[in-house]
Structure 1
Amino acid sequence: MLKVKLFQTIPNPLQLNIECIPGELHALVGPSGSGKTTALRTIAGLNDAHTGKIECNDQLWFEANEISGVSTSLSPAERSCGFLFQQYALFPHLTALENVCIPLYNSVPRLGDRKKLAQQWLERMGIGELANRMPNQLSGGQQQRVALARALARSPKILLLDEPFSAIDAPTRQGLYKTLAELRKDLNIPILLVTHDLREADLLADRITVIDQGVGLQTAPPQVLFERPRNSRVAELVGISNKFEGIFSSGKLIWDGCERVFDVIDKGKIPPNTPVAWVIPAEGLSLHAEASKLTMQASVEHISALGQIAVIQLRTVDGNHVITWEASAAEVKRLGLESGKVTHLEMNGSKIHIMPLRPINDPRRFSN
């Protein structure tokens, strides 16, 4: 198991507390410059934190505190990390096979044994026939597979992936997703993935940590993260479109500017009459052709067709709020939806998730 608890103030802030068990893929997501790559480099030993602790398989890799400073800091070689860089970092003057041999020099003395093991990893990546090609003779996806083979060649204790799929086309990316999924079963080591693509994190990761300005804001499985973000900043960063504000008091939510009051789950953590942010997932929304006591009027402002899926932008008559709803093309046709038409929106209060309302420059947004 990998355990990371870091606090760093210079040169780049980093406050992170994560665990990753063998076989788990843990994604780090956040905006550019948020500290995702800094976190990987610190775990690998390429950066030092100000204070904190890094452990892997009960071996202490790094420890430092305010009083005594750094007491333990293993070198990158001693930490045994497989690191896959965003730009591959292949040696341009070496063949694919020779690149994979590089990390084996200290652990496998005989050249013939190194080449044999490197060839096996290239075969495992599905590119064994490309062993004698130079990097400039390989496609982006092939270079990525060589780099992955090199990262895994010496059987590392953890695998660190720094936006490994960002520079390759969609079909190639899908093939690498499959390769990574197969490797996870066999390697049984912690895998940390840095990505800016939330869909990718949702597809691949068992858990996701959202990082903003060097601070880990929330760690959760993808479904929990997207449905129940910890605070409004997390909701913003994970791209939840239906995020609003209101006043919450003892299980009652008043939507700003609306007469509507929703009955929502009260966990007893928010004082009465507190301004809050709130979100509602897609399954909490439905449209109806006829009005009822559960619906509110909304006009259709825009419909974007994406194949068999349509994204509908609605504006409520009460409160003038914009809501995004997704539906199949068949559902749009059944309801007769078109721009300018007034329809009837139902919002399921039991699906509403309430969060603390924190402005972007309020440090309290990092807390619950």
Structure 2
Amino acid sequence: MLKIKLHQSTPNPLQINLECNSGELHALVGPSGSGKTSVLRTIAGLNTAQFGSVVCNDETWFEADETQGVLRNLPAAERCCGFLFQQYALFPHLKAIDNVAIPLQNSGLSSEARKKIAVNWLDRMGIGDLVDRMPHQLSGGQQQRVALARALAREPKILLLDEPFSAIDAPTRQGLYRTLADLRKDLNIPIILVTHDLREADLLADRITVIDQGISLQTAPPQVLFQRPRNSRVAALVGISNIYQGVFNAGNLSWHGCEQTFSVADKGKIPPDSKVAWVIPQKGLSVHDTATAASVQAIVTRISSLGQIAVIQLQIQNSENVIEWEASAAEVKRLRMEVGSLMHIELDSAQIHIMPLRPINDPRRFIGQTQ
């Protein structure tokens, strides 16, 4: 298990608390510059936090507190991390087999034993026939497989992946996803993945931590995170488009700027007459070409076709609220939908998720800084 508590206020705010079990893949997501890669580098010993701790399998790699400073800081070479970089970082003058064998240089093994291990890992990556290729003779996907083999060659205690699939075409990426899924079963080590691709995180991760300006805002399994974000900032960062405001009072939710109200289950955590933010997922929306007892009228303001999927924006009549709805091209055709069409939208109140309305736009408030 990997346990991380990282804190600092300067030069860049950082407040990260997370755990990753053996055999688990934990994804870090957030906007560019949010601190995701800094977390990986601090785990690996390439950066140093002001205080906190990094503990792997009950071995303390880093420990520091506010009063005594750094108490322990294991050098990067002694932390036994497998680190896979976005741009592969292969040595251009070395063959694939020699690139993979590099981490074993100080292992005490003979040259023959090191090469045997390297060949074994290249075989596991499905490129055992490319051992003598130079990096420039390999495709992007093949180079990344060599880099992954190198990261695993010395049997690391954890694997750190820094946007490893972002520079690879979609078919190659799918193949690497399968390779990583197969490896997880055998490795049984914590894996931390930094990615900007929410679909990738949803597909691969057991848990996701959302990071903004160095602060971890929420950690949850993907299905929980995308359906029940902690606040509207998290909702925005994970790509939820239908975010609104209202007032919640004992099970009754109003919709700011709209006459519609909803009956929403009250778990007793929100005081009466509280201003709230709320979201509704795509599965909570249905659009019709005729009115129903629970529908509201809306005008189609935009239709963006993405192959067989269309993203439609509809503005609620007599309101500034806009709903984004995703549908198949066939469904759009069936409804005879076009810009300017009058539609009727039903919102399933059972799918509505309510969040406290807080000043969350600047997460640095957690560590005593203001914008």
Displacement after TM superposition at 1:305 (Å): 2.8
DSSP-derived class of the 2:257 partner: coil
CA distance in 2, matches of 1:3, 1:84: 20
Per the alignment, residue 129 of structure 2 pairs with: 129
DSSP-derived class of the 2:259 partner: coil
- Unmatched runs of 5 consecutive residues or more in structure 2: none
Question: Per-residue displacement from partner, 1:237-268 (whole Å, max 9, x unpaired)?
Answer: 11111111112222211111111111112222
Displacement after TM superposition at 1:37 (Å): 0.4
CA distance in 1, matches of 2:56, 2:103: 20
Displacement after TM superposition at 1:201 (Å): 0.7
- Bigger Cα displacement from structure 2, 44-53 vs 265-274: 265-274
Per the alignment, residue 99 of structure 2 pairs with: 99
Paired residues of 1:359 and 1:365 also in contact (CA < 8 A):
no
The residue type paired with residue 335 of structure 1 is L
Paired residues of 1:55 and 1:61 also in contact (CA < 8 A):
yes
The residue type paired with residue 196 of structure 1 is H
Q: 1:35–1:57: structure 2 CA closer, same or farther, 3 Å change rule? A: same
DSSP-derived class of the 1:260 partner: strand
DSSP-derived class of the 1:259 partner: strand
Displacement after TM superposition at 1:359 (Å): 4.1
Pairing of 1:270-349 with structure 2 (within 5 A): 270-349=270-349
Per the alignment, residue 86 of structure 1 pairs with: 86
Q: Normalising by structure 2, what TM-score?
A: 0.95
Q: 1:196–1:19: structure 2 CA closer, same or farther, 3 Å change rule? A: same
Displacement after TM superposition at 1:358 (Å): 3.3
Per the alignment, residue 258 of structure 2 pairs with: 258
Question: Per-residue displacement from partner, 1:187-225 (whole Å, max 9, x unpaired)?
Answer: 111100001111111111111100000000000111111
- Bigger Cα displacement from structure 2, 9-18 vs 186-195: 9-18
- Let me know the Cα RMSD of the aligned residues: 1.7
Paired residues of 2:213 and 2:363 also in contact (CA < 8 A):
no
Paired residues of 2:213 and 2:364 also in contact (CA < 8 A):
no
Per the alignment, residue 116 of structure 1 pairs with: 116
> Following superposition, which runs of at least 4 residues in structure 1 exceed 3 angstroms of deviation?
358-367
Q: 1:144–1:220: structure 2 CA closer, same or farther, 3 Å change rule? A: same
CA distance in 2, matches of 1:265, 1:366: 30
| Count of aligned positions | 367
Pairing of 1:126-275 with structure 2 (within 5 A): 126-275=126-275
Displacement after TM superposition at 1:302 (Å): 2.2
- Unmatched runs of 5 consecutive residues or more in structure 1: none
Displacement after TM superposition at 1:320 (Å): 2.9
DSSP-derived class of the 1:126 partner: coil
Paired residues of 2:296 and 2:346 also in contact (CA < 8 A):
yes
CA distance in 2, matches of 1:10, 1:138: 42
The residue type paired with residue 333 of structure 2 is K
Displacement after TM superposition at 1:157 (Å): 0.6
Displacement after TM superposition at 1:360 (Å): 5.2
**Percent identical across equivalent pairs?**
71
Paired residues of 2:249 and 2:271 also in contact (CA < 8 A):
yes
The residue type paired with residue 268 of structure 1 is G
Paired residues of 2:26 and 2:206 also in contact (CA < 8 A):
yes
Displacement after TM superposition at 1:334 (Å): 3.0
Per the alignment, residue 11 of structure 1 pairs with: 11
Paired residues of 1:80 and 1:158 also in contact (CA < 8 A):
yes
Q: 1:365–1:299: structure 2 CA closer, same or farther, 3 Å change rule? A: farther
CA distance in 2, matches of 1:251, 1:289: 30
Question: Per-residue displacement from partner, 1:289-309 (whole Å, max 9, x unpaired)?
Answer: 332331111112222333332
Displacement after TM superposition at 1:101 (Å): 0.8
- Bigger Cα displacement from structure 2, 5-14 vs 37-46: 5-14
DSSP-derived class of the 1:32 partner: coil
CA distance in 2, matches of 1:71, 1:347: 55
The residue type paired with residue 248 of structure 2 is F
CA distance in 1, matches of 2:189, 2:17: 19
Paired residues of 2:246 and 2:277 also in contact (CA < 8 A):
yes
Q: Normalising by structure 1, what TM-score?
A: 0.95
Q: 1:55–1:221: structure 2 CA closer, same or farther, 3 Å change rule? A: same
